Homo-oligomer: A and B are copies of this chain.
Amino acid sequence: EKMWTTGAFHDCSGNIIHMLLAKLPGSEKISLFLVPNVLQDGTTKNKVELISLNRKMGHKAVSNCAWGLDGAVGYLVGEPDRGLMCMLGMMNAMRIEVGIGAAALGKRGLQESLLYAQEREQGGAQIVDYPDVKRMLLAQKAYAEGSFSLCIWAAGQHDLALAGDEEAKSLLGVTTEVVKSWPSEWCLVGNTHAMQVLGGAGYVQDYPLEQLYRDQRLNMIHEGTAGIHALTLLGRKVQGGRAEVLFRTMRRDAKFAEQQATGGVGWAAGDEDVLTECATKLREAVNRLEHVTNVLTSGDTSRDQALTNAQSYMNLFGHTVISWQWLRLATAAARLLDREYKGDDEASSSETGASPTSAAAQFYQGEIATCAFFYRHELPKTEAAAALLLSLDETVAKMEPGWF
């Protein structure tokens, strides 16, 4: 019997195949098998049976079930006894996909709530003009687009790694957990904001917000829970200085942003030098993360003590990584905005210096503003997490189950 299998039974296709881990007779190790509902001859039914469908809170477009496979036929996939390795390759890609899915739901929440905020009036103004509504929209944009940026970067590293790029392999090795976990957690916060923008209307089925809120909640649970990923990240992935390649990459991009800023481009070089401000803050954040990582993975710290607050480490790590993504986005936006200011051909050179009002220019300004938002409103949250981790706080560890 197997539980929590998604898509194992439904009426949308003639045959359904399952990838399954099991041991070959006489072996202690795990192999990977393909188990179809209909055998290779195309007519014989395999001995698989649906036990029950799970009644889920959301994600209702796909079925999830408990099923039995007593006496079922499975075909070996890959080499015998190498099942775990085969599966892990698939699962790494799946984790990027969960991140992208979470980002997509987050972005959808932004779009729906923005649309509503632009139409809905209260006290004689569109509610999109109210600071608290703008805050909730900005936070959604910061979470969703920051997540997208991270996932797309990771997908690029995934392709490079398949082509044999060693640095990409190392970078992917240390970021897979955050690519899955951060969007799942923070785009859920975003979807909560989206519902809040609509108020009561967000709570009813007339709008899609309540569905996004229910659907998104699954992402912290499936493909490895948030807690497991936090433990894997701190307990395994960043051990032995293996996060250094990521720290180096983030520092390089901070430097790149600074160089571009001092080159004097558009909005970013005006009164508010967002690129320089954020590059400085990113450098500090990377230093902080590196210091915490070194302390927690050093031989002087007991492993149990270090891992107790693994979730705080994930928060610190994730917010730092998303800050980095936002600086990359803002750096690109500033460059493109600069082009809008200058005009991109001789004919429009007379417009140089005029404030550009094209849709593209507005979008670039929004990217830079959202970057500033993330650095000023979100990144500072990591300071408390870092302090907690450095104190090797044992409050949680010392709590006795009988005391609840």
Contact between A205 and B388, CB atoms less than 8 A apart: no
Give the contact stretch, choosing among A43-51, A171-179, A220-228.
Answer: A220-228
Q: Does A383 contact B (CB under 8 A)?
A: yes
Nearest B residue to A378 via CB reads B384
Q: Does A330 contact B (CB under 8 A)?
A: no
Contact between A221 and B196, CB atoms less than 8 A apart: yes
Q: Does A344 contact B (CB under 8 A)?
A: no
Contact between B403 and A376, CB atoms less than 8 A apart: no
Point out the residue from B372, B376, B398, B404 that lies within 8 Å of A137, measured CB to CB.
B404
In chain A, residues 170-224, which have Cβ atoms closer than 8 Å to a Cβ of chain B?
A: 188, 192, 195-196, 199-200, 202-206, 210, 213-214, 217-218, 220-222
Complex Cα gap A135–B401 (Å): 11
Pairs of residues from A and B, 10 with the lowest C-beta to C-beta distance, nearest first: A366-B403, A380-B384, A57-B210, A132-B227, A55-B205, A131-B308, A128-B401, A135-B396, A54-B204, A4-B200
Residues of B within 8 A of A132 (CB): 227, 230-231, 310-311
Min CB gap A108→B, angstroms? 14
Point out the residue from B310, B383, B388, B395 that lies within 8 Å of A384, measured CB to CB.
B383
Complex Cα gap A136–B134 (Å): 31
Q: Does A67 contact B (CB under 8 A)?
A: no
Q: Does A133 contact B (CB under 8 A)?
A: yes
Min CB gap A313→B, angstroms? 11
Complex Cα gap A210–B196 (Å): 19
The complex is assembled from copies of this chain, and their number is 2
- A residues contacting B by CB (< 8 A) are 3-4, 54-58, 110, 114, 118, 126, 128-138, 141, 188, 192, 195-196, 199-200, 202-206, 210, 213-214, 217-218, 220-222, 225-227, 230-231, 307-311, 362-363, 365-366, 369-370, 372-373, 376-377, 380-381, 383-384, 387-388, 391, 393, 395-404
Contact between B55 and A204, CB atoms less than 8 A apart: yes
Point out the residue from B4, B128, B380, B400 that lies within 8 Å of A365, measured CB to CB.
B400
Contact between B373 and A395, CB atoms less than 8 A apart: yes
Contact between A403 and B369, CB atoms less than 8 A apart: yes
Contact between A226 and B396, CB atoms less than 8 A apart: no
Point out the residue from B57, B311, B402 that lies within 8 Å of A214, measured CB to CB.
B57
Contact between B366 and A227, CB atoms less than 8 A apart: no
Contact between A393 and B381, CB atoms less than 8 A apart: no
Complex Cα gap A136–B310 (Å): 12
Residues of B within 8 A of A199 (CB): 221, 225
Residues of B within 8 A of A400 (CB): 362, 365-366, 369
Contact between A396 and B131, CB atoms less than 8 A apart: yes
Complex Cα gap A118–B110 (Å): 39
**Given the contacts A196-B225, A380-B387, A403-B366, A203 and B395 also touching, CB distance less than 8 Å:** no
Contact between A395 and B380, CB atoms less than 8 A apart: no
Nearest B residue to A53 via CB reads B204
Point out the residue from B141, B384, B404 that lies within 8 Å of A381, measured CB to CB.
B384
Nearest B residue to A202 via CB reads B221
Residues of B within 8 A of A200 (CB): 3-4, 54, 221-222
Complex Cα gap A137–B196 (Å): 26
Complex Cα gap A110–B370 (Å): 36
Contact between B398 and A369, CB atoms less than 8 A apart: yes
Contact between A403 and B365, CB atoms less than 8 A apart: yes
Residues of B within 8 A of A230 (CB): 132
| 21 chain-A/chain-B pairs, Cβ below 8 angstroms | A54-B206, A57-B210, A57-B213, A130-B227, A131-B309, A133-B227, A134-B396, A138-B395, A138-B396, A138-B399, A188-B192, A196-B226, A199-B225, A203-B217, A213-B217, A362-B403, A365-B400, A369-B398, A373-B395, A377-B393, A381-B381
The listed residue with most B CB atoms (<10 A of its CB), out of A131, A307, A372, A377, is: A131
Nearest B residue to A402 via CB reads B362
